[in-house]
Amino acid sequence: MTILCLLKEIKDYLCHLHIHDNFGKSDDHSLPFEGNIDWKGFVKGLKEINYQGVFMFELRKKTNNEEMLRTIKESYLNLFREEKND
């Protein structure tokens, strides 16, 4: 099942997303693009179902929180900028 199919199936239950990246084997809570999540497909799916809820990155504490926050901001802006241009 693709991420888009899954989002369409559960869209009526989504209101608050806690998201993070991983490799599908454990609850890594990694930064976006550090794992194997299809972020572009995920964002495209959220737009297609007109998701209007909270979008929160749920991460493990890193040694440099300021750098982590910059990375999150850049990732978030790039994800939505890329999707807008497609």
Q: How many helices (H) and strands (E) does the chain have?
A: 3, 2
- What are the backbone angles phi and psi of residue 46, rounded to the nearest 5°? -60, -40
**Which residues lie closer than 8 Å to 37 by C-beta, 6 or more apart?**
21, 22
Selection from 27, 84, 36, 76 nearest residue 54 by Cα: 76
Q: What is the 3-state secondary structure (H, E, C) of 56-76?
A: EECCCCCCCHHHHHHHHHHHH
Instruction: Give 24-74 pLDDT, tens digit per residue.
Output: 888 888 888 889 988 888 999 999 999 999 988 887 766 788 888 888 888
Q: How confident is the model at residue 83 (pLDDT cuts 50, 70, 90)?
A: low
The predicted pLDDT at position 86 comes to: 57
Q: How confident is the model at residue 7 (pLDDT cuts 50, 70, 90)?
A: very high
The predicted pLDDT at position 84 comes to: 59
User: Per-residue pLDDT for 21 more than 70?
Assistant: yes
What the block records as the tokens of 61 is 């504490």
User: Per-residue pLDDT for 8 more than 70?
Assistant: yes
